Amino acid sequence: MTGDVTWTTPGQTSADSLPIGNGDLAANVWTESNGEIVFYLAKNDAWDHLGRLIKIGRLRLTLKPGLLTDAGKFEQKLSLEDASVIISNENTAVRLWIDAHWPRLNIEVTSTQPCEIRASLDPWRTAPRTLSKGESAHSSGLNGGPVAEIAAADTVLRKEKQGVIWYQRNTESIWGLTLDQQALGDLKAEGQDPLLHRTFGACLSGNGFKKKGDRGLITAKKSTSATLAVHVHVAQTDTFGEWLAQLRAAVDSTSAPSPADAWRDHVQWWTDFWGRSGIEVEARAPDWGHAAMISQQSNWQRYLVACCSRGRFPVKFNGGLFTADWGLKDEPFDADYRRWGGGYWWQNTRLPYWAALASGDFELLRPLFRLYRDQLPLAEHRTQVWFGHGGAFFPETQCFWGTYQPANYGWDRTGKEPGDVTNRYIGRLYISGPELVALMLETYQHTGDTALLQNDLLPIARAVLKFYALHYPNDSSGRMRIAPAQSMETWWEAENPLPDVAGLHYLLPRLLTLPPELLSVADLGAWRALTARLPKLPLKMTDGQAHMLPAERHEAVPNNSENAELYGVFPFKLYGVGRPNLATGRATFTQRMFPDTGGWRQDALHAALLGLTESAAFFVTKNFNEGNTTSARFKGFWGPNYDWVPDFDHGSVTQLALQHMLVQSVGDKILLFPAWPSARWNVKFKLHLPRQTIVEGELKDEQLVNLKVTPEDRSRDVVNLLGRDKNSASF
């Protein structure tokens, strides 16, 4: 499969690892120079008492005779089609895979000769440790405050007969502190601390193995085949004993499928996953391998997101579940470390989820929507306490339960009101609410999922739009004046920032056309009234051509380097191919203040949406060929860029651009090849669009062949833009 990776030499550290996962549990797997197989395990909900998402543990597998003996060809291979890593020589093979349906890593050893197998926990968190100054500043959101930033130690059960069991249990928590700090302490009585008594750990076990000390297992006798499993469990329980009983029950479960059935079901899940969508690019002439790399990286990006996005929580943009010992000169920290810490940052978290739509990976969106739906009561309460009115806003950077990260909110509250956020980069940044609604709305348009609409989209849309309606007064003309405000992190003193204004202009007409039986009279009245108050989009005429501004007014010197003016192209698609005034969008792109690509920068995506074929192709090629700047051996581990390794933003922006170069949906129209360099690349593709539509086809030597549209009646909506004038707003 395009994207499989085969290495014929071992590595040295986790920087030489390959990724496997099931969306909830993941592992970095590598072989060291002595032939030992090592892997880090990480789980989607293993939050420590400081609110950091950390590793479950590290394990080591040793075979005698070893994999690097004179047995012949050594190989380690990542197989994308079944999400497994196989490490082998001519006599012995070790397959590692994480069950698509259970939080369990499986290790299968087969050999032509009897061998001794040892498996052991390889701990590094052996004693409590105070985070270093640099590590703390970047990793927790607690720096500079009263919390003792001490990383806890793992505990290994002694004389455990069932296998090797280890764990961490949170005996304290920062949850209550964050509520008290942010004037929300009254919620403690009615809420449940999501960190306290959270316990995470695992059991290493295997038939035919015996204990070797408290941390290891060894084959009772040499064997030609053996199977081990690592069962991982995370839960909040009143006592440790309850958690331990749950883990033991999972290990002994009679309801678990047999190994053969589990493997069959696992393979079927991944077969279905890869069958849903795909993009395969082929160069029409020698291109230094760029087209092949684009196909490979596209599959890697989708795979990494799937490995991290089926658990209780959304993917962490800054490393996901694949943080490792990257050995960066200025950040030589352990695998629990990630830049920007355990918080969720909306501008970074959102990007993998937008890309999931065209891939048809709707299951992966659920944790993101659940996170914000669960936070809604706190968000509404905060709005009332801080500002004295209804509605809800969501912070740009937040703990997973919904409060600001404490260091961003600000420890020193002298002379400050509750709503005064110290970190000015995010102090009045509320755009996450409108964009979340836009993402939910587009997901509903793709799936027709009325449960999503009723349970998540409408409650959040009502609260977010109510916040804007009540938070900002009218100006002298009777229009809303969004001020004081900011335009992304770049402009801190803004009036009528383009992202917020564009978001409201984009959302309200679309919400008002939802099925009328699902909207209340109050919804219709409130949204029509808000529509009548909307400020105009901030535009400027230059040489007779309009272009968008970051805000109607803002300070002279930028504080960051985001192109806030292009939020009218993405995520709020007011300007683009097939839409009115394409020239306005293109002029904005041409005059953007910060032309650049890589990381979260979105020039590639904006160019694709605007039909700028050469620019889009250039940025996609550059991103997918130059995104890895660390010592990571697996080149799908992009970064660190602005985030960490792997950088999920870098791959997601590029994936989004590639999708939109091929297909865009505008109203009922399906626009094929709005920004595709057909003279340079052939392509096979299968992508998902609104109205539960799937478009599958092949472009071969500038001719469209084998086009298939499901359902068939959507074929009449297809517009092939090859050789056509893209400046028209009506095709």
Neighbours of 191 (CB within 10 A): 16
Instruction: Tell me the average pLDDT across 547-559.
Output: 98
Q: Which tokens go with 370?
A: 């659940």
Q: Which tokens go with 148?
A: 């003792």
Last residue of a domain, one of 220, 243, 276: 276
Inform me whether the pLDDT recorded for 72 exceeds 80.
Answer: no
The phi and psi torsions of 4 (rounded to 5 degrees) equal -60, 150
Percentage of the chain beyond pLDDT 70 is: 99
User: Does 272 lie in the same domain as 372?
Assistant: no
User: Does 135 lie in the same domain as 48?
Assistant: yes
The Cα 211–Cα 289 span in angstroms is 50
User: Does 271 lie in the same domain as 131?
Assistant: yes
pLDDT score recorded for residue 148: 94
Confidence label for 730 from pLDDT (cuts 50, 70 and 90): low
User: Does 373 lie in the same domain as 231?
Assistant: no
The phi and psi torsions of 436 (rounded to 5 degrees) equal -60, -45
Confidence label for 282 from pLDDT (cuts 50, 70 and 90): very high
Residue type, 332: P
Inform me whether the pLDDT recorded for 165 exceeds 80.
Answer: yes
Last residue of a domain, one of 259, 276, 293: 276
pLDDT score recorded for residue 627: 63
Confidence label for 419 from pLDDT (cuts 50, 70 and 90): very high
Q: Which residues of 540-560 are buried (b: 16+ CB within 10 A; e: fewer)?
A: eeeeeebbbbbbbebeeebee
Q: Which tokens go with 695?
A: 């478009």
Last residue of a domain, one of 276, 296, 312: 276
User: Does 405 lie in the same domain as 263?
Assistant: no
Residue 146 lies in a domain: yes
Instruction: Tell me the average pLDDT across 509-538.
Output: 96
Residue 70 lies in a domain: yes
% helix / strand / coil in the chain, to the nearest 5? 35, 25, 40
Confidence label for 21 from pLDDT (cuts 50, 70 and 90): very high
Residue 468 lies in a domain: yes
- pLDDT one-digit tens code per residue, 40-61: 999 999 999 999 999 999 999 9
Number of domains into which the chain is organized: 2
pLDDT score recorded for residue 207: 93
| Cα angle value 256/258/259 (rounded, 5°) | 115
Burial class for 242, CB neighbours closer than 10 Å (0-12, 13-18, 19+): middle
Domain that holds residue 234: 5-276
User: Does 374 lie in the same domain as 256?
Assistant: no
Q: Which tokens go with 380?
A: 């509404």
Using omega within 30 degrees of 0 as the cis cutoff, is the peptide bond preceding 646 cis? yes
Give the bridge partners for 26, in sequence order.
21, 42
User: Does 411 lie in the same domain as 267?
Assistant: no
Q: Which tokens go with 38?
A: 């090592």
User: Does 264 lie in the same domain as 139?
Assistant: yes
Q: Are 619 and 290 in contact (CB under 8 A)?
A: no
| Number of separate helices (H) and strands (E) present in the chain | 17, 33
Q: Are 355 and 654 in contact (CB under 8 A)?
A: no
CATH code assigned at 478: 1.50.10.10
The Cα 724–Cα 731 span in angstroms is 9
Residue 250 lies in a domain: yes
User: How much is the pTM?
Assistant: 0.97
pLDDT score recorded for residue 345: 96
| Residue position matching structure tokens 């400050």 | 416
C-alpha dihedral (37, 154, 193, 242), degrees to nearest 10: 90
pLDDT score recorded for residue 140: 80
Residue 441 lies in a domain: yes
Q: What is the overall mean pLDDT for the chain?
A: 96
Inform me whether the pLDDT recorded for 30 exceeds 70.
Answer: yes
- pLDDT one-digit tens code per residue, 377-394: 999 999 999 999 999 999
The Cα 363–Cα 356 span in angstroms is 9
What 3-state class would DSSP assign to 277? coil
**142-146, 384-388, 397-401: range with lowest mean pLDDT:** 142-146
CATH code assigned at 218: 2.70.98.50
**64-68, 165-169, 233-237, 423-427: range with lowest mean pLDDT:** 64-68
**1-5, 164-168, 536-540: range with lowest mean pLDDT:** 1-5
Residue 130 lies in a domain: yes
pLDDT score recorded for residue 1: 84
Q: How far is CA 416 from CA 181, 428, 492, in A?
A: 12, 15, 18
Q: How far does Cα 148 stand from its chain's mean position?
A: 29
| Residue position matching structure tokens 């993941």 | 26
User: Does 173 lie in the same domain as 30?
Assistant: yes
- Please name which of 207, 489, 493, 200 lies closest in space to residue 348, comparing C-alpha atoms: 489
Instruction: Tell me the average pLDDT across 606-617.
Output: 98
Q: Which residues, 6 or more positions from 333, have their beta carbon under 8 angstroms from its beta carbon? A: 132, 134, 135, 139
| DSSP letters for 619-687 | HHHHHHHH-B-SS-SSTTS-B-TTS-SSBHHHHHHHHHHHHHHHEEEETTEEEE-TT--TTTEEEEEEE
Confidence label for 680 from pLDDT (cuts 50, 70 and 90): very high
- pLDDT one-digit tens code per residue, 423-466: 999 999 999 999 999 999 999 999 999 999 999 999 999 999 99
Q: Which residues, 6 or more positions from 402, have their beta carbon under 8 angstroms from its beta carbon? A: 374, 375, 378, 379, 382, 394, 395
Residue 425 lies in a domain: yes
- pLDDT one-digit tens code per residue, 242-265: 999 999 999 998 777 888 999 999
Residue 729 lies in a domain: no
Helix (H) or strand (E) holding 625: helix 613-626
Instruction: Tell me the average pLDDT across 133-162.
Output: 91
Inform me whether the pLDDT recorded for 71 exceeds 70.
Answer: no
Give the bridge partners for 109, in sequence order.
94, 226
Q: Are 636 and 301 in contact (CB under 8 A)?
A: yes
Kindly give the residue spans of alpha helices, DSSP state H, lying in 253-289. Answer: 259-276
pLDDT score recorded for residue 568: 98
Inform me whether the pLDDT recorded for 728 exceeds 80.
Answer: no
